[in-house]
């Protein structure tokens, strides 16, 4: 599918597997240069090389935990240094986590809110000013159907999705 975004630059978080990898692959097929983010540097490097080799686009792997304060800014700064622009921001990193208020641990709650909600906010704040200046930008926040139909048994996963 021609998305009409050739030569744009995109950051995709959670890009070494699953939905993020599929998004990155589709973007690369459309001629988009990429900054790919995930924690496991080895798996990310393999993905970046495969996508870059297959579609002939530039791919910068950036190993980071998006939930850590400061990482979103560092990712965006690297993207700006390498490509001079961020046209498309895809906040996708994360995982499902079962559990309601009593079942989910404090650590799981902190992980979910940091990875989904705080990281999304920080990436948006880092890319929006430059997008506004250029009057072009796209932000995609990959959430969950739980953002529309919350399930209390998956509360720790669905609560951070509600505002997305």
User: Which residues would be at the binding site for ligand NAP (CB under 6 A)?
Assistant: 13-20, 37-40, 43, 65-67, 92-96, 115, 142, 144
> What strands, in cross-sheet order, belong to the sheet with 33-38?
59-63, 33-38, 9-13, 88-91, 138-141
Nearer to ligand NAP, 7 or 96 (CB): 96
Which residue, among 152, 56, 79, 164, has the nearest Cα to 115 in the 3D structure?
164
Q: How far is the CB of 96 from ligand NAP (least distance, A)?
A: 5
Alpha carbon distances (Å) from 24 to 10, 19, 138, 162 = 8, 9, 15, 25
Nearest-approach distance from CB 15 to ligand NAP, in angstroms = 6
| Nearest CB to ligand NAP, comparing residues 43 and 85 | 43
Minimum separation from the CB atom of position 134 to ligand NAP (A): 26
Task: Give the residue with the Cβ less far from ligand NAP, 83 or 123.
Answer: 123
Contact 85, 92 (CB under 8 A): no
Q: How far is the CB of 83 from ligand NAP (least distance, A)?
A: 20
| Residue (7 or 41) nearer to ligand NAP, CB | 41
Closest by CA position to 29, among listed 12, 11, 46, 4: 4
């Amino acid at each position: 599918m021609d998305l009409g975004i050739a030569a744009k630059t995109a950051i995709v978080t959670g890009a070494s597997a699953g939905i993020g990898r599929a998004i990155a692959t589709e973007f690369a097929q459309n001629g988009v240069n990429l900054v790919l983010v995930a924690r496991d540097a080895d798996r990310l490097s393999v993905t970046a090389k495969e996508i870059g080799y297959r579609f002939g686009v530039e791919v910068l792997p950036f190993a980071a935990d998006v939930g850590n304060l400061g990482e979103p800014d560092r990712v965006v700064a690297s993207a700006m240094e390498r490509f001079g622009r961020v046209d498309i921001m895809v906040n996708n990193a994360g995982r499902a986590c079962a559990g309601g208020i009593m079942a989910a641990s404090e650590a799981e709650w902190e992980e979910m809110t940091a990875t989904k909600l705080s990281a999304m906010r920080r990436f948006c704040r880092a890319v929006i000013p430059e997008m506004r200046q250029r009057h072009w930008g796209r932000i995609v926040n990959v959430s969950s159907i739980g953002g529309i139909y919350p399930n209390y048994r998956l509360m720790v996963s669905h609560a951070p999705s509600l505002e997305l």
